[in-house]
Amino acid sequence: MNKFAIAIVDDSPLIRSYLRILLECTDFELVFEAENGDDCMHKIKNLQQLPHLVIMDIHMPVMNGYQTTVALKAIWPSVKILILSAEDSQESVNRSLALGADYFVSKLANVSEEIPQAIQQLFNLYPFDEN
Domains along the chain with CATH numbers: 5-123 (3.40.50.2300)
Please give the helix or strand (H or E) that residue 130 lies within, else none. none
In this predicted model, what pLDDT tens digit does every residue of 71-80 receive, in sequence order?
A: 999 999 999 9
80-85: strand order across its sheet: 29-34, 5-9, 53-56, 80-85, 103-106
Count the alpha carbons within 13 Å of 74 in the hemisphere toward its beta carbon: 8
Structure-model confidence comparison of residues 4 and 86, the more confident one: 86
**Whole-angstrom distance, CA of residue 83 vs CA of residue 119:** 12
Within 3-129, where are the H helices? 13-24, 37-45, 65-75, 90-98, 111-123
In this predicted model, what pLDDT tens digit does every residue of 9-18 receive, in sequence order?
A: 999 999 999 9
User: What pLDDT shows up at residue 127?
Assistant: 46
User: What pLDDT shows up at residue 117?
Assistant: 85
pTM over 0.85: yes
